[in-house]
Structure 1
């Protein structure tokens, strides 16, 4: 069974500006959160062909920010003044009157070549100044959602000081049919559930997809031969191949190293399951563990020097860390219950995991030394955590109880706040969050 648990140390609190000299900012040292009120007047369409795009882009920007739980959108019904032009001066007093702390304005046009041009500015209302310089994004009209996410990422970064995560994608398993006979296929979508595309058909079972560090390839476990085997898929052309491994073995639970050219996974041979490393270029295969226990779910540290994994070598399912070259591992989980599916945070400071204890499943996080364990969720079945590119949010699978129960994707902030369901067309499981797109 796949596990997932998430824990985080840093928490958000918004501190309003108290004087014109104090800049808008977020201080990450307090567990109390008051969402920052912001205003986003509809972006201006500077050409007739941009009318629909302007409205949709400004809506996605606002939804991205509100979805973090850190921002609160002020209804346009409360606006005192409007923004009739991207070049219009800002009437700061009118925005202060409705308690807007941040103001986002934008303009959209379609140029002579048919390209979409999106401009935006961000203002600190209380200090009466623009935050950074205005930015412009240019792309095809089909990429309008990506440009909206890029605007939201820029706003998020300027206010929080952290990189955003909106212009990213998630690969997952889409599931259809009854619980005892589900068809499963790989799918990819925007971080918020939009633009779902399918990468495989449902002719065989697929499990545990994992993005490469550059987001152009996916590792997954497939059952085309009737036994679990690791496959490598190219996202652009949907071409795939099985990893070349010794005959008579079963392989599963793969994951990329930070270099993108090395993968780790579990390999079963002779009735024993250990963790192996494979160089995709040379084909060199190395065994990293050698134990009669079941050892699986490996995940690299961001610098590639260590691997966290799960093992029952102590008699129960627990978490261990070892060198990326193998060697004697050290146990890091010591709480009550069973631990599995560990995933190293992209920041390097935390490990997310699944925990089963007291008849409940949890997503949690702990320090890499095993200290300061924190459980973020609790339900009938929560499992399979995956980190956002900035290490701030965790996505996971939640399944409801009962014969008709179906899995769905959820997200939660590392503070344990802002639990949200990700809407998908069908049941969904096994998410893997990719990097920010270039």
Structure 2
């Protein structure tokens, strides 16, 4: 059964490398410095000193482009700052005013304010109505351009261009893929606690561009993204037993995956997007099943007298992690994706729940309850190296950024208020609240959109 719903279409971009704009003289001046150490931020260390960068306002060629150009540079600045890996310099300290995006910057002016990286750019409106955005990333102390690209899109898509430029800068300076051009699907909560309205919502990773995907007339829970970023699964209690839906974000079409009495978490997609894995309750037990999305055929993966739930695939699809009380308390287990023997990997004090595999494949995030506290943490896939990232009254529901560098979760302080979304680096640093229109819970982070 297909049902129309509110939706947010994905927007396509055309990306090309910037080839021109620097004269032979400028290249000749930069060439003797090629042997110098290339600017690179080492993010493999536990304590990273943020890299000072300068992001002056992009140049707007016409009066109508000036505001858009300024907005693009401000979004880039905000993204880099929120990552915790960069320290954007206050524009009030800038000595040079960038008025020509094709000119080589006056590097001594930027060295004087201790900028190590410099981002310049330009935004222009094309004759066909499209927006063209260009940027260049400069190594200030080496006096050379590190990278530069240009993009064409519709004028209303300027915010996404800013995120893509941010990702390009992040990748060039850290060696890792960025995560700014991504989205969050979550549960928006409003109204008094005893009559809370919950709607499925989607937004950019920085909290902008919120769109509602359901109307609030049904209780919705635990949305999950597909690897393609075009579809999500979520649970709804609007018609009695829990019903799982598959929603296409591009078209707004919704189809029923099935009715699942006793289900407490939505299914998660396999890395290839062809299957979902879920926990189904039968009597007092709950076991894991995989479902082929085309045929709707299910395969039983566990058969125990315990409660096995919250399964999550590894990035290569070869293994799954899940929570189970088969040992007497909630703990995390790992087994092959086709079932078979399961290995317990959590052994510290307390109980563990909501495990989710990192896109990097090297760690698993979890919720841990101990000593009256709820903590968000990560551990290696064999259970070693446990690290608590954040503690609070009620923290829950971790989800990884596309590059595995950041974990998002929700925190409910209790009382008459409601939950909010937070992010924290996998080192445990840089915990930040994510802006949302109201209360928010159950976040799920999309893969990169481009």
Same fold judged by TM-score > 0.5? yes
Kept in 1, the 8 Å contact 2:363–2:380? The answer is yes
Normalised by the size of structure 1, how large is the TM-score?
Answer: 0.93
Larger mean Cα displacement after TM superposition, 332-341 or 232-241 = 232-241
* 1:94 equivalent in alignment to 2:115: no
Between the aligned partners of 1:365 and 1:89, the Cα distance in structure 2 is 44
Q: 1:195 aligns with which of 209, 213, 220?
A: 209
* 1:50 equivalent in alignment to 2:65: yes
Report the secondary structure of 1:151's partner residue: helix
The equivalent of 1:387 in structure 2 is 400
User: Which runs of structure 2 are paired with 1:279-428 in the superposition (5 Å)?
Assistant: 279-401=292-414, 403-428=415-440
Kept in 1, the 8 Å contact 2:41–2:51? The answer is no
Q: Deviations over 1:353-404 (max 9, x none)?
A: 0000111110000000000101000000111000000000000001113x21
Kept in 1, the 8 Å contact 2:393–2:413? The answer is yes
The equivalent of 2:445 in structure 1 is 433
The equivalent of 1:115 in structure 2 is 130
Q: 1:183 aligns with which of 166, 172, 197?
A: 197
Q: 1:39 aligns with which of 54, 57, 80?
A: 54
Between the aligned partners of 2:381 and 2:104, the Cα distance in structure 1 is 50
| Cα RMSD after superposing both structures | 1.6
Kindly tell me: are residues 36 and 251 of structure 1, through their superposed partners in 2, closer, same or farther at Cα, counting changes over 3 Å?
A: closer
Between the aligned partners of 2:264 and 2:346, the Cα distance in structure 1 is 25
Kept in 1, the 8 Å contact 2:62–2:124? The answer is yes
* 1:235 equivalent in alignment to 2:249: yes
* 1:83 equivalent in alignment to 2:113: no
Q: How many residues align?
A: 418
Between the aligned partners of 1:41 and 1:308, the Cα distance in structure 2 is 45
Kept in 1, the 8 Å contact 2:164–2:180? The answer is yes
User: Which runs of structure 2 are paired with 1:130-209 in the superposition (5 Å)?
Assistant: 130-132=145-147, 134-209=148-223
Between the aligned partners of 2:359 and 2:44, the Cα distance in structure 1 is 20
Which structure would you say has the larger RCO, counting Cα contacts within 8 Å and 6 or more residues apart?
1
Q: Deviations over 1:59-96 (max 9, x none)?
A: 00110001111111111211111111111221111110
Between the aligned partners of 2:259 and 2:218, the Cα distance in structure 1 is 20
Between the aligned partners of 2:131 and 2:201, the Cα distance in structure 1 is 27
The equivalent of 2:27 in structure 1 is none
Kept in 2, the 8 Å contact 1:337–1:358? The answer is yes
The equivalent of 2:39 in structure 1 is 24
Gaps (5+ residues) in structure 2? 1-32
Shift of 1:249: 6.7
The equivalent of 2:120 in structure 1 is 105
The equivalent of 2:271 in structure 1 is 258
Normalised by the size of structure 2, how large is the TM-score?
Answer: 0.90
User: Which runs of structure 2 are paired with 1:67-78 in the superposition (5 Å)?
Assistant: 67-78=82-93
Between the aligned partners of 1:369 and 1:322, the Cα distance in structure 2 is 11
Gaps (5+ residues) in structure 1? 1-17
Kept in 1, the 8 Å contact 2:235–2:266? The answer is yes
Kept in 2, the 8 Å contact 1:253–1:298? The answer is no
